[in-house]
Structure 1
Amino acid sequence: MVMNKRLILGLAGAAAALTAVTPAAAQQWRWNEGNWRTIGTTRVDGRDRDVVQLPGFTRQREIRVCALNAPLRLRAFDIRFANGGRQDVNTRSVLEAGTCTRAVDLRGNRRDVASVSLRYEPVAYRANRPLVRIQVR
């Protein structure tokens, strides 16, 4: 009986600690973070490929992909430019929730990004699907 009370109190304390940390973690994902601008988001749906259409008409020199609320195993992403060119980026890494890929230099002079095709697989099948952000600078 005493052990059950300790377990319940321990779980309640852990839940309270996680709740206290959540607002600070949410604040780190601003629209314009350290010169990085979010230009597209998508909630990946469990298939192995998604395409994020982007607004274009903005000149960029670097790009990165971020996973927000759940981990994601990102195999690669394919960048399509407004002029028809493309650039493939192999990542083969696991993005934990709240992390991003390395900054990828876009080939050529500042480029207009039209779309990004993501090739991925979920790390765990959960109720909440990963939210992915495309950020540029």
Structure 2
Amino acid sequence: MTRALILAAAGAAATLVAIAPANAQNWRWDERGWRTLGYTTVDGRDRDTIYLPGRTRQSAVRLCAMNQPLRLRDFDIRFENGGRQDVNTRAILRPGTCTRAVDLRGNRRDIASVRLRYEPIRRAAWRPVVRVQVRG
């Protein structure tokens, strides 16, 4: 009985250790104060919306591409109070790169969602993943 309990506890601990780093990596603050709040795999429809969870007071936002390059035309930031801020980027995001930091108008704001207008550069099996990162 004790041996089975020890083996079960060890298995559960190993599972938690394997899962925790992947989850913590997406939601932690990095060395420059950026934190990932949400992400989506863009599906090639030219427009997508990333909904952000909870209420977080932020002063700057940026978008980052993963997996595949992406031509980002612009993005529209929707705030919890109904306001919005349109950002014209016309940038090519290579995998692992981000847009410039965009300061949010007004004081620190609650972001509800980010609408993207884009073009995939390559039509491939792997779709680009876009992350929304914020700084407080």
Normalised by the shorter chain, which TM-score bucket?
A: 0.7 to 0.9
Structure 2 matches for 1:57-68, cutoff 5 A? Answer: 57-68=55-66
State yes or no: 1:41 paired with 2:67.
Answer: no
| Partner AA of 2:98 in structure 1 | C
Q: 1: distance between equivalents of 2:79 and 2:122?
A: 32
Q: What displacement does 1:87 show?
A: 0.1
State yes or no: 1:134 paired with 2:132.
Answer: yes
SS at match of 1:46: coil
Q: Deviations over 1:42-88 (max 9, x none)?
A: 00001100001111411000000000111000000000000000000
Q: Is the 8 A contact 1:65 1:100 kept in 2?
A: yes
Aligned twin of 2:101: 103
- Identical aligned pairs, as a percentage? 69
Query: Structure 1 segments of 4 or more deviating over 4 A?
Result: none
TM-score, normalised to structure 2's length? Answer: 0.78
| Partner AA of 2:88 in structure 1 | N
The aligned length equals: 109
Q: 2: distance between equivalents of 1:91 and 1:104?
A: 10
| Residue among 66, 69, 77 paired with 2:67 | 69
Structure 2 matches for 1:12-51, cutoff 5 A? Answer: 30-31=25-26, 32-34=29-31, 35-51=33-49
Aligned twin of 2:81: 83
Q: 1: distance between equivalents of 2:80 and 2:52?
A: 10
Q: 1: distance between equivalents of 2:53 and 2:81?
A: 14
| Partner AA of 2:30 in structure 1 | E
| Partner AA of 2:58 in structure 1 | Q
Q: What displacement does 1:33 show?
A: 1.8
Q: 1: distance between equivalents of 2:30 and 2:45?
A: 29
